Amino acid sequence: MALFKEKKGFFGKLSERIGDAIMGRPEIDEDLMDELEEILITSDIGMDTTMKIMEDLRTYIKDNYITNPANVKEALAKVIAKLMDKGERNQLCQDTPLVILMIGINGGGKTTSIAKIGHKLRQEGKTVLLAAADTFRAAAGEQLEIWGNRIGVNTIKHQEGADPSAVIFDAIQSAKARNMDVLICDTAGRLQTKKNLMNELEKMNKVISREFPEAARETLLVLDATTGKNAVSQAQEFNDVAEITGVVLTKLDGTAKGGIAITIADEFDMPIKYIGVGEKMDDLKEFVPLEFAGGIFE
For the chain, the structural domain boundaries read 94-244
Report, in angstroms and rounded to the nearest whole number, the Rg of the chain calculated over CA atoms.
21
- Does the pLDDT at position 56 exceed 80? yes
More confident residue, 246 or 10: 246
Q: Please provide the average confidence, as pLDDT, over all residues in the chain.
A: 89
Res. 184: pLDDT tops 80: yes
pLDDT of residue 64: 96
pLDDT at 251: 85
pLDDT at 287: 93
pLDDT > 50? residue 10: no
Q: What do you get for the CA distance between the two ends of the chain, in Å?
A: 7
pLDDT above 80 for 258: no
Task: Decide if 39 contacts 14 (C-beta within 8 A).
Answer: yes
Greatest mean pLDDT range, 171-180, 184-193, 254-263: 171-180
Residue 199: the pLDDT is: 87
The more confident residue out of 9 and 49 is 49
Binding site, annotated residues for GTP: 104-111, 186-190, 250-253
Q: What are residue 127's phi and psi, to 5 degrees? A: -90, 140
The predicted structure's pLDDT at residue 2: 46
What is the mean predicted confidence (pLDDT) over 198-205?
90
> Are 60 and 75 a contacting pair, CB within 8 Å?
yes
Position 188 pLDDT exceeds 90: no
What is the rounded average pLDDT of the residues 81-102?
96
Task: Give the tens place of pLDDT for each residue, 218-231.
Answer: 999 999 888 877 88
- Measured CA angle at 127 (ends 211, 185), to 5 deg: 50
Mean of the pLDDT values across residues 37-51?
88
The overall longest dimension of the chain from CA atoms, in Å, is: 68
Q: What is the pLDDT of residue 227?
A: 82
**Topology of domain 94-244, per CATH?**
Rossmann fold (3.40.50)
Mean pLDDT along residues 64-79? 93
pLDDT at 101: 97
Report residue 16's pLDDT band, with 50, 70 and 90 as the boundaries. Answer: confident
- pLDDT at residue 106 above 90? no
Query: Is the pLDDT assigned to residue 175 strictly greater than 90?
Result: yes
CA distance 255 to 259: 12
pLDDT higher than threshold 60 for residue 8: no
Nearest-angstrom CA–CA distance, 241 and 196: 10
pLDDT of 131:
97
Query: pLDDT category, 275, cuts 50, 70, 90?
Result: very high
Please report the pLDDT score of residue 278 as a whole number. 81
| Residue 253, pLDDT score | 66
**Which residues does the annotation place in the binding site?**
104-111, 186-190, 250-253
- CA–CA separation, 286 vs 275, rounded Å? 7
